[in-house]
Amino acid sequence: MVRQVRAVRTRRALVRAAAEVFAEDGYALASLPVISRRAGVSTGALHFHFPSKDLLAREVEAAATAAVQRLVVREGAGGVAGGGGLQLLVDVSGDLVAAWAVDPVLRAGFELGGDPSRKSVQGPGRWWSEWVYALLCEAQGAGELARGVSPEAAAVAVVASVAGFGRLACGHRVRSSPRLVEEFWALLLPGLVAPSRRLPVLPGPRAAGTDRTPR
C-alpha cells in the first residue's frame, strides 16, 4: 500500500517536472536526466514509469486534458445562471486562463500540441477546440447566437484568444489577465449573442464584484 502511494507520487512528480522542462526547452531538447533530477527521482525510476519521452509527453497531455474536463464539469455542475450554454463557455474560459497561470501540466499539455518537434494531435487543445465548437453549435440551435454568426469562426476566435490570454497569464502580467478575459467577452458578446438573450450572459461570475460599467 505504502509502495503504491509512493509510485503515484513519483509518477505525479515526473509528469510535473516533464511539463516544466517541455515548456522551457521544447519537446525535442527536453532531456530525460534533467526531468528525473528535477522530479527528485533516479533515471531508473523514470524509465520504469515511462519507458520513452513520448509516453511521458502523452501522460502530460492526458493529465492536461483531464484538468480541462474537470473545469467544464465543475462549472457545468454549478448550474447555469440563466445565460444558457454561452454562460458556461464564458465561465470555463475564465477558469482555463486562471489555471494556465498556475498549472504547468495544463500549460505544457496545450503547448505540446503546437510544438513542431512533437506533432501531437491528441492533447487538450483538440478536446477543448471540439468542446467549444460543439457548445457554439448547440447555442446556435437553442437560438442563443445572433443571426448569421458562424460557430466555426467564433470557435477559432475563442480558442485562439483564450490561449493568448493564457500565455499572458503565465508571463509578467499575471494579475491583469483575468480582467483581460472579462474585457474580451465584453468585446465579443455584443456580436455573438442574440439580442433577446443578451442580458443574462456576463463575463464570468467575477464580473459582479468589479467596477466595470456594463455596455
Q: Which is nearer to its own copies, 15 or 193 (CB)?
A: 193
Footprint on this chain of its own copies (rule: CB under 8 A): 22-29, 111, 114-118, 146-150, 152-154, 156-157, 159-161, 163-165, 168, 176, 180-181, 183-184, 186-192, 212-213, 215
Nearest distance, CB of residue 190 and its own copies, angstroms: 4
* Spatial separation of the C-alpha atoms in residues 193 and 201, rounded to whole Å: 8
Find cell 503504491 and name the residue. 4
Cβ-based neighbour number of residue 197 at 10 Å: 21
- Tell me how far CA of residue 2 lies from CA of 5, 6, 8, 102, 154, in angstroms: 5, 6, 10, 29, 49
CB of residue 118 to its own copies, shortest distance in Å: 8
Query: Smaller CB distance to its own copies: residue 50 or 184?
Result: 184
- For its own copies, give the closer residue by CB, 138 or 183: 183
In whole angstroms, how close is the CB of 113 to its own copies at the nearest point?
11
Say if residue 100 is exposed, middle or buried (CB neighbours under 10 Å; 0-12, 13-18, 19+): buried
